[in-house]
Amino acid sequence: MANILVVEDDKINAKLFELVLTRVGGFAVTVTEDADEVIRIASEGQADLILMDVSLSNTEYEGVPVDGIELTRILKQDARTSSIPVVLTTAHALRGDRERFLQQSGADGYVSKPIEDNRALVSLVQGFLKSRVAELQRAA
């Protein structure tokens, strides 16, 4: 069973992601907004994919406020965590945001909130996981 790490500061959105991913997708899900916990979980190999909220409002790393863009950048620069797919999630769905957020963060994908199609979210996650498995098999 794949482990999905949901990094979300809104409790309702976090619960919705958790319910959809566990019930529809059959994934194991961990939810947190704590940057140190995100990095620990990812570094210990306990996340197969990360859904990262762009606008984390209460999250700090090493005493400095960080948003999902910066936290993704930190993960992508660390050799232990750089290969874990990160999909940004945001309610900021203005024209050009997707490209700008992906470029700034180094994330692998982008999903607008609210999620209107639960199966599409699960399919997106499954696609990233299949790509990651294939990549790991090629590297072995």
Instruction: Answer for the pair 119, 24: CB distance below 8 angstroms, yes or no.
Output: yes
**Confidence (pLDDT) at 135:** 75
The domain limits of the chain are 3-139
Evaluate if residue 139 carries a pLDDT over 80. Answer: no
Q: Cα(4)–Cα(51) distance, rounded to whole angstroms?
A: 7
Q: Cα(15)–Cα(6) distance, rounded to whole angstroms?
A: 10
- Encode pLDDT of 126-138 as tens digits: 888 888 777 767 7
Residue 104, C-beta contacts closer than 8 angstroms, at least 6 positions apart? 69, 73
The tokens of 95 are what?
């024209």
Residue with tokens 């999903």: 111
Q: Domain spanning 3-139: which CATH class is it, in words?
A: alpha beta
Name the band, by pLDDT with cuts 50, 70 and 90, for residue 140: low
Query: What is the residue type of 114?
Result: P
